[in-house]
Amino acid sequence: MRKALLALLPVLALATVSVAGCGDASSSTGIQRSRGATKAIPDPGEPQDHDPNTPDEPADAPNPNANTPPPAPATPGTVAGELGVTLSTATPATDLGTSLDLTVTVEPKAGFKGDAALSVTGLPTGATATFVPEKVTLNTTPVTSKLTIKVLASAAPSATGAASALVVKAASTGTTPVEATANANFKINPKITMTIPVNVDAMRAAVGTRYVDGWFGPMFGSAPQPLQTQAGNPITVVVKNADSVAHIVHGNAGFVHGDTNNPVPAGGTDPKNRTLAAGVNTSGYLHEGQNGTSESFRISVNTAQ
């Protein structure tokens, strides 16, 4: 019997957690923690022997870049003799998979009357912009347009201290065109929100693990499209609960074991800070009942090129 146990020690020493999503793993090393689990990675639908007396893992270290505004542009832009253009903010920022609205104000000068077309340059890859309206008609008073910038969840966030230099231009369409510009530094925050779906307990009743897009498709679902970020710029994942019941998120890598004393409240936000570094592949589910049959998610993070 002693010989058999000694033979198993090298095998047990190599056991690590990979992408199957057990929260009984270290967020920094991926190595199995001592929580009374029968194995490092449970099979789908398999219950776990979690020791409720074992302290939960601490939250991940925050990435300050997830909430830091971009630096202000060096100059506000240029003013033409007949036109001026300003933005509601010169330091816009938004999270992955979201959009933001800016107010563009075009002011006629020196009695200018006529139309002015609006455009923007400098958007990073994965961001698009629309103006409503794209053309404004000027008479004697300033007019406004709404600039909406939409960012794909798969876009690379801005590196620490970096931003994309945007130039918003208003160009008259008369016989003697004039142009005015407004500068802005635009930042994509290394942050994304995933949501525990409504009626998740009903989904849990389905047979087998359900990797679905309900958490925020297509980034966390059955065939997740990878997120991407730079080394040293981990993505902060905010977990919101759209369900009417509190839940505990359970996973590996950035999804350390959820706090049994502080679950994600109904209609609220996960109290734990969770970050995913470049190169991470992880998955998870809700730590309640038959864990593997709960509504599950997968996440992959590539290194931004």
Residues 227 and 238 in one domain: yes
61-87 mean pLDDT: 95
34-46 mean pLDDT: 36
Looking at the structure of the chain, the number of domains it has is: 2
Segment 153-180, tens digit of pLDDT = 999 999 999 999 999 999 998 777 899 9
More confident residue, 33 or 49: 49
Range of the domain at 242: 16-63+191-303
H-run or E-run covering 200: helix 200-204
Q: Would you state the pLDDT for residue 155? A: 97
Domain endpoint, select from 189, 220, 235 = 189
Residues 294 and 220 in one domain: yes
Residue 228 within any structural domain of the chain: yes
Residue 4: pLDDT above 80?
A: no
Residue 5 within any structural domain of the chain: no
The CATH number that applies at residue 269 is 2.60.40.420
Residues 198 and 52 in one domain: yes
Q: Would you state the pLDDT for residue 290? A: 52
Residues 258 and 277 in one domain: yes
Residue 3 within any structural domain of the chain: no
Residues 47 and 115 in one domain: no
8 Å CB contact between 101 and 147: yes
Residues 298 and 200 in one domain: yes
Residues 198 and 222 in one domain: yes
Residue 205 within any structural domain of the chain: yes
The CATH number that applies at residue 77 is 2.60.40.10
Distance in angstroms (rounded) separating the CA atoms of residues 268 and 242: 8
More confident residue, 301 or 53: 301
289-290-296-301 Cα dihedral, nearest 10 degrees: 100
Q: Would you state the pLDDT for residue 40? A: 36
Q: Would you state the pLDDT for residue 49? A: 41
Q: Would you state the pLDDT for residue 55? A: 56
Residue 9 within any structural domain of the chain: no
Residues 195 and 58 in one domain: yes
Residues 276 and 221 in one domain: yes
Residue 11 within any structural domain of the chain: no
Q: Would you state the pLDDT for residue 292? A: 53
Q: Identify the DSSP state of 290.
A: S
Segment 10-35, tens digit of pLDDT = 332 322 223 333 333 333 322 223 23
Q: Would you state the pLDDT for residue 34? A: 28
Residues 171 and 252 in one domain: no
For 214, residues 6+ apart whose C-beta sits below 8 A from its C-beta are 195, 197, 203, 221, 295
Q: Would you state the pLDDT for residue 209? A: 66
Distance in angstroms (rounded) separating the CA atoms of residues 256 and 275: 10
8 Å CB contact between 270 and 192: no
Residue 39 within any structural domain of the chain: yes
Residue 4 within any structural domain of the chain: no
Segment 94-142, tens digit of pLDDT = 999 999 999 999 999 988 899 999 999 999 999 999 999 999 999 989 9
Domain endpoint, select from 138, 161, 189 = 189
Q: Would you state the pLDDT for residue 248? A: 86
60-65 mean pLDDT: 92
- The model's confidence at residue 203, banded by pLDDT at 50, 70 and 90, is confident
Segment 209-253, tens digit of pLDDT = 677 777 887 788 777 889 999 999 999 999 999 999 998 887 777
Q: Which residues pair with 209 in a beta bridge?
A: none
Domain endpoint, select from 155, 189, 223 = 189
Residues 171 and 209 in one domain: no
Residues 200 and 54 in one domain: yes
Segment 247-284, tens digit of pLDDT = 888 777 777 666 677 789 999 998 888 899 999 888 88
Q: Would you state the pLDDT for residue 165? A: 98
